A = this chain, B = another copy of it.
Amino acid sequence: MSNIIVAQSGGPTSAINASLIGVVRAARESETYDKIYGALHGISGVINEDFLDMTDLSDDVIIRTPASYLGSCRVKMPMVSPEDETYKKVFEIFGKYDVGAFFYIGGNDSMDTVDKLSKYAKLIGSNIRFAGVPKTIDNDLVNIDHTPGYGSAAKFIASTMLEIGYDTAVYEAQCVTIVEIMGRNAGWLTAAAALARNEYNPTPQLVYLPEVNHSVDEFIDDVKRVLEKTNNVVVAVSEGMKDKDGNYLTASDAKEDKFGHAQLSGVGKYLESVVIDRLGIKCRSVELNILQRCAGHMASETDLSEAENLGWYAVEKTIEGNTGFMASIKRVDKVDGIMDLDASVKDEYSVSFYMVELDSIANQERCVPRNWINEAGNDVTDEMLDYIRPLIQGEMEISYKNGLPIYTPIPHLTSNYTCNKANQIL
């Protein structure tokens, strides 16, 4: 038997801890792995021997605790070379802790790290196994149907858009509400806003993704057209919406303020000022910001369940002898061909897992296909919505204490956290 190290990296999501628990539980149930070490702050925690012994972890709340239980980092590993000191150090530590497998839960950069570590292992003839478990709310990884974390963010966005639809509908006066959603280059998150529409709620009437460029004139024309039918216009816009020349629609390149500070307004604030200026009606912009990725109380049960199972799958595949792969998700087509995406949406959807080559993932970005965006580029198609809808299904049961959701304390924030150096856990 050997031990494993698991770590997390990249931006927080509501699902990244579910994958962590999947890895921990699978390793514990296996007859291959013994101790389970969580490295704090990603690969940095390996280099610093900053480990948490998770072998006997029995906390179920971690699954639905947002952000990274083990902390994160934004470390880019150097080019693989047999003489590189970083790799030497990392593998020395792997040896010291009798590590048989390393699991890295993260996004694009994290998959790059796993790829490099597995290539270095091959180079030096190490038989340590390396697996990547993907997560990113952006849903922009290639070779995967959708990424863990996306479904929960999409659920928060769609639910919040529905509530914004209620909020903005109460007055009779003309009003435009612009909701800015994350996504610099890919519009997956913004597309989820359209799920808020139902038989009585027509908002958001306009949805702009970064995949299609728009002039400000076109945007204003679109808004005017909607205003002919209703006084309440809600617009969902990706932070990465671009003008006809491919430049971000933002006021960030505007003049500095009286103190010389650069104005940091994004596209939402920018379009707000344009609507007020050009149409002379009330306009408000709302930026969902980091709430999209940390609203654990609104996590998708489908998302968290898949995230956990993907962690399990990664561990099982290393036990079978595989290394240098990312655990990926495939959507299983129905036998009868047609999916009924209405009330029984969840029953009709299922996924299977498979392994993909790590170097097929790194440094690539998956955007929304042009045919999932309408011709005018100001809305998404039903095909797009049918793709997202199953991912937001189901709710986690949340317990509350003193009026607030109960989450698991982050280890490095707790005063009784004493395992912050390896010599304390061995």
Contact = CB atoms under 8 A, between A and B. Distances in A.
Interface of A: 12, 41, 44, 65-68, 71-74, 155, 158-160, 162-164, 166-172, 177, 195-196, 198-202, 251, 253-265, 269-270, 272-274, 276-277, 284-291, 293-298, 300, 342-343, 345, 389, 392-395, 400-405, 407, 409-410, 412-415
A167 B257 contact: no
Nearest to A65: B166
Contacts of A163: 66-67, 291, 294-297, 405
Given A286-B291, A415-B200, A256 B257 contact: no
A170 B68 contact: yes
A286 B262 CA distance: 17
A255 B253 contact: no
Contacts of A72: 170-171
Nearest to A300: B403
B401 A392 contact: no
A177 B168 CA distance: 28
Contacts of A270: 257, 261
A297 B294 contact: no
A64 to B, nearest CB: 11
Given A254-B258, A345-B402, 15 more contacts: A12-B167, A12-B170, A66-B167, A67-B163, A162-B404, A163-B294, A164-B294, A199-B414, A255-B257, A259-B277, A260-B277, A263-B269, A286-B289, A286-B290, A288-B291
